[in-house]
Structure 1
């Protein structure tokens, strides 16, 4: 599992698309993969978390679903594109504050599980953990 993270509109998706080239990929936007594919990209995780919270899911259920997606697809290569939403102003709305907190704890779990991590900051990739793999 490889994580690509950075701020909004910092070039994460472009970096992943360039990294993958013409490879066949199963792309999941604001959702998690249910079945194994040889290569999956999971993006919009912060939106997925917000949808789950709106559906009444607890933080524990959300992290359990992410763990299940990783385990179901452990024989394939996953790239998770994560947007850092924790560096800004504390949201006024309770749901948005809850989303920010759950996303932060989910990201902590994902970072521990990841084989490699790359931060993309304004289009410049920086390997933080492990080495990138395609």
Structure 2
């Protein structure tokens, strides 16, 4: 599994599209659909924070659901870092921000590679389990 993380509109999707230009792929936009990851192809999971905001599962169950869903599959997560900037006044938005942070930590720990995109620049943070 790979993770590409960065702020909103920092070039994450463009980076992944360039990276996979010659490979068959399936894009799963979680803002428009449920989190059902197909097998047999490379899957790009985008906007998982939208799924996390919509799900009625408790946070721990949602994390376990995602971990089981990606088991044995070729997945790239595009994660939007929503933990920076102004802390939301709305309690539900703060709860989502914290839940995303905890989910992202688990996905990054499990990932073989982690790349941060910051204003279009890619920085590898982890490769094959080795922190760089």
- Do the structures match in fold with TM over 0.5? yes
What is the alpha-carbon root mean square deviation over aligned residues?
A: 1.3
1:105 matched residue in structure 2: 102
Q: CA shift at 1:107, angstroms? A: 0.3
CA contact (8 A) 1:6 1:84 kept: yes
Post-superposition shift, 1:32? Answer: 2.5
Q: Which residue in the other structure is 1:21 paired with?
A: 21
1:106-127 per-position Cα deviation (integer Å, ceiling 9, x unaligned): 0011011000000011111011
Matched, 1:40 2:43: yes
Query: Contact 1:33–1:42 at 8 Å: present in 2 too?
Result: no
Residues 31-87 of structure 1 deviation map (CA, whole Å, 9 limit, x = unaligned) = 4233313200000011111111xxx3211111011111121xx1x321100000001
Tell me which residue corresponds to 2:65: 65
Conservation of the 8 A alpha-carbon contact between 1:3 and 1:114:
yes
Residues 33 and 40 in structure 1, CA contact (< 8 A), matched pair in contact too: no
**Separation of aligned partners in 1, 2:119 and 2:40:** 30
3-state SS of the aligned residue for 1:15?
helix
Q: Which residue number corresponds to residue 114 of structure 2?
A: 117
String of CA shifts for 1:3-28, please: whole Å, max 9, x gaps: 00000000000000000003211111
Give the structure-1-normalised TM-score: 0.88
Cα distance in 1 between the residues matched to 2:24 and 2:122: 22
The aligned length equals 125
- Which structure 2 segments of 5+ residues have no match? none
- Of residues 35-44 and 8-17 in structure 1, the stretch that sits farther from structure 2 once superposed is 35-44
